[in-house]
Amino acid sequence: MPAPQVHLRAEQDGRHYELTVHAVDGGHQVELTGSDANGRLLTEWRGTLPAAADLTAIAQLLASGVAELTGVPAPRPAATVEEQRARHANAARPWTAEDDARLAELAAAPGATIGDLMRELGRSRGAVRSRLEKKVPGSPLLGRTPAANC
């Protein structure tokens, strides 16, 4: 039986990238190639990672190393749900009918701000604005700049 493998492709700004990962004894063989729109090879990399490798840490190291050489900031890793909930208690939780009713009630209060709704609902600015657009589309809070909504 052949070893399991994954083959992924991505394109950005006319450049084409292919990533292939093969299971090998005790780890993963990784191959990455990149080419321009004319098919000219831009990058080629091969290596083996142990099965227990922390891929998130490896990706962060790679991005940080390139960032230091190029001066281009490395992307920040996405926050875990636990980290999000440390800031917003209801992050990544589904909105309930009660949440929607409370959102509409709070949004209609004189002098209400997005910041008020964030604190009361335990949600991020993006979550509150997105839900307002869906459930209370005429809310005056949607027309204000973020700085005015704190």
Kindly list the distances between the CA atom of residue 8 and the CA atoms of 82, 84, 108, 113, 122, in Å, as whole numbers in the listed order: 29, 29, 48, 44, 37
pLDDT value at 19 more than 80: yes
Where does a domain end: 37, 70, 103? 70
Distance of CA 28 to the CA centre of its chain: 25
pLDDT confidence band for 55 (50 / 70 / 90) = confident
pLDDT confidence band for 39 (50 / 70 / 90) = very high
pLDDT confidence band for 146 (50 / 70 / 90) = very low
On whether both 58 and 96 belong to a single domain, the answer is no
Q: So what's the pLDDT on residue 3?
A: 64
Where does a domain end: 24, 46, 70? 70
Structural domain including 111 reads 81-149
- Look at the chain and report how many structural domains it folds into: 2
Residue 75 domain flag: no
Residue 36 domain flag: yes
